[in-house]
Structure 1
Amino acid sequence: MSFVRLALWFRPLLVFLVLLFITYYKGTNKSSNSSMLPCGGLLTQHKWESLNLNISRQTHLFLEMKDFFWKKHPSNQTLPYGIKGNEPLLLKIFSSVQVNYKVPDNIENLRCRTCVVVGNGFSIKNTSLGSAIDKHHVVIRLNDAPVRGYEEDVGGKTTMRLFYPESATYHPNPENNPDTLMVLVPFKQEDLHWLKAILYKEKIVSKGFWKRPPLKWLGDTSKIRVLNPHYLYQTADRLLHIPLHSNNRMSHVVFCLFVLFPKPVHPTTGILAVFVALNYCDVVHIAGFGYPSSKKQNHRIHYFGHDTIKSMKNSYHDVEREADALKRLEDLGAIVFLHPHT
């Protein structure tokens, strides 16, 4: 009698385990050409725990007024890693009805988001990944990387494009979709002044930029978003473990670090985009990442244009450190490359 009762007690558990196995099998039994991977809750949670990066999907991707206005504990970091000292300027920017922080509902309400970060590297050339890339819910592109003419390899869909004023284009519409979110990465105060001038149709001052930004911008300002500097800070501090240098007066400790490391190092837009995707997406694929061997100084580094590895000689990026970080993320299963890489 006790055995019968025990069997009846275990029956619901057995049914649950069978259903769980069937669901998992259906999710994983897909062709290798599919750009979608299963969003198993336990699997996803395990990835985040393995990363040990304090990743929180509760943090908004984009700045909004409540992040810096009426806040008890304002940011203690200056740009590019915080908004300290720029609150009045941001208040003016967000007073414009043209800028908001929302992600389209059709993406925000997804129970499982599959995302791909398309890097600008030469490694994506001749991969024919375009159709696989476009199948993802979210496609993140970087700076002024072109799409037209390269669709077979890089796809034609763009959900978000991370950029700086120096990498903005005068007329962004041809290389983006009508609903593409143009995500400004504020690196210095001049970047915010540029955005404010765009929104209020003021004269743009090009002083303070390493490359002259567009003095006019024909894009849809309602699609502009401002990335929360929290993500650049976390990318530098938690993922890359690089010393952080403030743009304002340096503390004694930071000054000592600056003496030891005379040239400050900052994350690339690419590794930043990967970290953003890890926070926002359940499945993260990447393509077009990786640089050729530094011994091949004339090797092209982008799938477009003619820049070579030699042009990165005076770069403020540590590409070897970033390559190690990507390898670590890949080994943990947090990201998946869509093409072979070294």
Structure 2
Amino acid sequence: MTPSFNTFKRIFSLKAGLSEVYAEEVHAGGVLAMRGYLVFIILSCVFLYYVLHCILWRESTSWLRVIEMKRSPMLTCSLKPAFDSLLSFRGIYPFLCTSALKTIATLHENDNIALPYGLKKSAHHFYLALSRLQSCDLFPESDKEPCKKCVVVGNGAVLKNKTLGEKIDSYDVIIRINDGPVRGHEEDVGTRTTFRIFYPESVFTNPEDNDPNSVAVLTVFKSYDLKWLWELLAGITPEINHFWKKPALNLIYKPEQIRILDPIITRIAAFNMLQFPTTFPKKEKPKHPTTGIIAITLAFYICHEVHLAGFKYNFTDKNGLLHYYGNSTMSMMSKNEYHNITAEQNFLKNLIEKNFIINLTKD
């Protein structure tokens, strides 16, 4: 039988339909393949990023070396200090170490508090800075004296012409603050320095001011302070846009001389010593302890007896000298919006009246 025209028409229609189905399947398969390639590329990029991040993290933080930095044992004095009632926290090790950093942060609640008084969201920056340091020891292993007599030397003009240098040098521990010079003022302030508390805007830059036997202690107020330290020690020129004044662009201290203060010391100074509120009104700038009060708080946790020198200021004479060095006047104190100097002076007066500390510069 000869197929009819309608039969051929049905056959061609069927083939055309099969071709369209095949074409649709090929197209669908191509789309799926393309999606598969895209997913593969995305996953590959994610994996590559992870690998590079791990490599850079390990290199930038010197991971293997950092883990080995452990704190040295603290010697306990059996005698209670006069200021014992002020110590609401016990057993505080003042310098950060990478060993058990997160454990200690949790213990001190530092992991729940952001900078300047905690580590929350900044642990990476602390690790980076610590990766460039070589020690977090408090005192040398050879130092076995548990009951230390300490003096905290302020920068007040009251030190000028007091010839307290020899007296200051007689203490077991001498704590100085910021860039208060020794060179050229030895008769009034002594020659020795055990610890010098600083921040990026207040550190020495002249190599002649370096005492190789001293330890420089960074007080951290922002993550950029840690970045600044890491960059300088890594040989990188640091950014200066995030500081209230130009920070140092070189360090005169070697890595083994540098420590990072545990933020809990500053937090104790602010909330326990000065009784600052934990929050301030939106229109008021938060107040923070001065380096001097932070240094005194540090002394309370490493010393059995604490004396002061150079912490008295004459607020009535606006044109009087502010420091025992330089030409800055007391008028600068009234311009400072970040500190409550009146609260600090009242705090120190209370300590002296209760004989918790001894003031070497009473007048």
Give the TM bin, normalised by the shorter chain: 0.7 to 0.9
- Kindly provide the amino acid, as one letter, of the partner of residue 211 in structure 2: N
Distance between the aligned counterparts of 1:123 and 1:55, measured in 2? 32
Q: Which has the larger radius of gyration?
A: 2
Task: Find the counterpart in structure 2 of residue 36 from structure 1.
Answer: none
Q: Is the 8 A contact 1:133 1:139 kept in 2?
A: yes
Instruction: List alignment gaps of at least 5 residues for structure 2.
Output: 1-75
Is the alpha carbon distance of 1:300 and 1:45 closer, same or farther for their aligned partners in structure 2, counting shifts above 3 Å?
Answer: closer
Task: Find the counterpart in structure 2 of residue 91 from structure 1.
Answer: 127
Question: Are 2:333 and 1:312 equivalent residues in the alignment?
Answer: yes
Task: Find the counterpart in structure 1 of residue 281 from structure 2.
Answer: 258
Q: Is the 8 A contact 2:287 2:340 kept in 1?
A: yes
Q: Point out the more displaced range, 159-168 or 71-80.
A: 71-80
Task: Find the counterpart in structure 1 of residue 174 from structure 2.
Answer: 139
Q: Deviations over 1:265-320 (max 9, x none)?
A: 11110011111101110110110002112x32111110001111111222111111
- Aligned runs of 1:1-342 on 2, under 5 Å? 41-42=78-79, 44-45=80-81, 47-49=83-85, 51=86, 53-56=87-90, 58-66=91-99, 68-69=101-102, 73=106, 75-96=111-132, 98-105=133-140, 109-171=144-206, 173-244=207-278, 254=279, 257-259=280-282, 262-293=284-315, 295-315=316-336, 316-341=338-363
Distance between the aligned counterparts of 1:40 and 1:87, measured in 2? 32
Q: Percentage identity across aligned positions?
A: 36
Distance between the aligned counterparts of 1:280 and 1:231, measured in 2? 11
Query: RMSD between aligned alpha carbons?
Result: 2.1
Equivalenced residues, count? 284
- Kindly provide the amino acid, as one letter, of the partner of residue 129 in structure 2: I
- Kindly provide the amino acid, as one letter, of the partner of residue 285 in structure 1: H
Distance between the aligned counterparts of 2:152 and 2:81, measured in 1? 21
Instruction: Report deviation, 1:108.
Output: 5.0
Instruction: Report deviation, 1:100.
Output: 2.0
Instruction: Report deviation, 1:179.
Output: 1.5
Distance between the aligned counterparts of 2:291 and 2:122, measured in 1? 22
Instruction: List alignment gaps of at least 5 residues for structure 1.
Output: 1-38, 245-253
Corresponding residue SS for 1:94: helix
- Kindly provide the amino acid, as one letter, of the partner of residue 94 in structure 1: L
Distance between the aligned counterparts of 2:101 and 2:357, measured in 1? 32
Q: Deviations over 1:57-86 (max 9, x none)?
A: x21110111353356835211111111111
Is the alpha carbon distance of 1:126 and 1:107 closer, same or farther for their aligned partners in structure 2, counting shifts above 3 Å?
Answer: farther
Distance between the aligned counterparts of 1:106 and 1:134, measured in 2? 21
Q: Is the 8 A contact 1:157 1:176 kept in 2?
A: no
Distance between the aligned counterparts of 1:149 and 1:71, measured in 2? 41
Corresponding residue SS for 1:167: coil
Distance between the aligned counterparts of 1:262 and 1:157, measured in 2? 40
Taking CA–CA contacts closer than 8 Å with sequence separation of 6 or more, which of the two structures ends up with the larger relative contact order? 1
Is the alpha carbon distance of 1:314 and 1:104 closer, same or farther for their aligned partners in structure 2, counting shifts above 3 Å?
Answer: same
State the TM-score, normalized to the length of structure 2: 0.74
Distance between the aligned counterparts of 2:77 and 2:212, measured in 1? 32
Distance between the aligned counterparts of 1:317 and 1:150, measured in 2? 27
Is the alpha carbon distance of 1:107 and 1:140 closer, same or farther for their aligned partners in structure 2, counting shifts above 3 Å?
Answer: farther
State the TM-score, normalized to the length of structure 1: 0.78
Is the alpha carbon distance of 1:71 and 1:321 closer, same or farther for their aligned partners in structure 2, counting shifts above 3 Å?
Answer: closer
Task: Find the counterpart in structure 1 of residue 43 from structure 2.
Answer: none
Q: Deviations over 1:230-252 (max 9, x none)?
A: 011001100101123xxxxxxxx
Task: Find the counterpart in structure 2 of residue 14 from structure 1.
Answer: none
